[in-house]
Structure 1
């Protein structure tokens, strides 16, 4: 028997038309595709079977089904839980750019008003600098400084919301590197599904694309880490072992992303083993010594 989206043709050549609306036709196409049947055909077959009067009518019906399929795909895409997280991270990055640029311009403005302050402003944190500007009450600068502070507060609230959402969507990745770093990895990959499909070597250098392309083009030393450098165990690691720590952490993240995507639940056994493996790489012989001392204390007790 031959099956098409508009009907079936048995061994005797008898054609049985499929009668249904657009959504039912779309469901039929999906079902036949999963079974390996040929679901599309030349218009002549449908016209000969009496389903359509001419080629134009056939293509019009098929066009409506294709539009319905596209709408369904778009709806499925935007219903992904991690899509909102991706947009939140991108908004956070934009807010960082805006805050930094506005603070820099406001500082230049302030130095024009207070030339004698220029020698020491570089050693003052941005938040304290904005406080200095806010004292210029009744001026455009003071008003602007207040708005920059409010924007910075909103940025902090958004960061906490991102970390909380990442903890729910990717509990294992968040436990390994923190919610914000996990969210940035998901954002750069495009989704948790995409992140779970990446090898550890790619996860290790996510965020270091410029350095990677420079290495490939100009044969400079390859980057050892990207976004995961923001995690304390990487950026606090001694330089000789920093690359090893980044590699081990990326390997564990690749597994954690798969657990998060396919199960969505926290795996305590995996996290404990991963943390131990990372610590062993980070501290080396010192870790073995600490573990031995701990076992001795446990035995004496």
Structure 2
């Protein structure tokens, strides 16, 4: 006889109700959401826990038969799984990843729409064809919007989409400053967000070696190097950092390696501490600036 059977006051809690030592049941009735909440509230001492059999659940009147028991248990498990999925994808860095991917899709769509709209405009205004190549995309849309037809209305919608894209970019940068303050301080919020997106999450990025962070975004060039005799990539997304794209070619690889190493540390600080570390940022910036200055000395 189980130990809890010997205690008249013992009560075993299960997701569908409570069963005392006399096999008397107090059923938990309600929707699946209520049973999910009850599941989370149950405090079980595994030393005294008695595994449940469907016969016990049927005997105490919670279910008519085994099929009904399994069906209710299936719905409960599905609800619990959905709850965990929602909790996972509403984490700050997971949402940030989706925001960056949306921004990339918007960039692709906007560029494609501008290209098609420009071709349409050139058909209507062939004398303009020699000028458009030197005009920025923003200026081109402003010109297209002047048309008094469907093309003009489409130009207006493209302009609106571009404005939404700008707002999303600013929101991404602000969100990255909160989620990854150290990475953002090193490379800026937007670049930090793109690195996290490419890595998959801040957790994944915090586990990556510096060499992998250095070439995030340059995977195709890296695999081409591994398959053939092409030079290895020196940088990926981090090329957007001013100290890399402004550095001389002789030290660009060194600056990239230093920045990749500092980002690897910054990602760990962001994931495990979640707050900016000023002394680390100051030291990292000095080291990056020093390596960058080596290229300036070579130039002299």
Interval containing the TM-score (normalised by the shorter chain): 0.7 to 0.9
CA distance in 1, matches of 2:78, 2:90: 18
**Runs of 4+ residues deviating >4 angstroms:** 22-32, 45-48, 50-66
1:90 Cα deviation from its structure 2 partner: 1.2
| Structure-2 residue corresponding to 1:172 | 182
* Structure 2 partner of 1:20: 14
Structure 1 residue 268, shift from structure 2 partner: 0.3
Q: Secondary structure at the match of 1:19?
A: strand
| Distance change >3 Å, CA 276–CA 112, structure 1 → 2 | same
Counterpart secondary structure, 2:13: coil
Q: CA deviation at 1:244?
A: 1.1
Question: Normalized against structure 2, the TM-score is what?
Answer: 0.77
Structure 2: runs of 5 or more not aligned: 4-9, 16-34, 60-64
Query: How many correspondences in the alignment?
Result: 269
Find out whether 1:194 has 2:200 as its counterpart: no
1:89 aligns with 2:83: no
SS for the counterpart of 2:170 is: helix
Q: Following TM superposition, by how much is the alpha carbon of 1:275 offset from its aligned partner in structure 2, in angstroms?
A: 0.3
Q: Which residue does the alignment assign to 1:296?
A: none
* In structure 2, C-alpha distance between the alignment counterparts of 1:119 and 1:30, rounded to whole Å: 77
Match of 1:106 among 110, 117, 121: 117
2: CA distance, partners of 1:229 / 1:30? 53
Out of 251, 254, 259, the position equivalent to 2:269 is: 259
> 1:285–1:223: structure 2 CA closer, same or farther, 3 Å change rule?
closer
Partner of 2:220: 210
Tell me the distance in 1 between the aligned counterparts of 2:232 and 2:58. 61
Shift in CA distance, 229/17, structure 1 to aligned 2, threshold 3 Å: same
Measured against aligned partners, the alpha-carbon deviations of 1:131-160 in whole angstroms (never above 9, x if no partner) come to 222232x12222222221221111111111
Tell me which residue corresponds to 2:24. Answer: none
Distance 1:117 1:61, change over 3 A: closer
Cα distance in 1 for partners of 2:218, 2:100 equals 17
Which structure has more helix as a fraction of its residues? 1
**How far apart, in 2, do the equivalents of 1:250 and 1:180 lie?**
16
Q: 1:127 is matched with which residue?
A: 138
Q: Check conservation: 1:46, 1:58, Cα contact below 8 A.
A: no
Deviation at 1:216, TM superposition (A): 1.9
Match of 2:244 among 226, 231, 234: 234
1: CA distance, partners of 2:54 / 2:113: 66
Gaps of 5+ in 1: 1-7, 11-15, 288-301
Taking the aligned partners of 2:193 and 2:45, their CA distance within structure 1 comes to: 36
Give me the whole-angstrom Cα distance separating, in 2, the residues matched to 1:250 and 1:173. Answer: 11
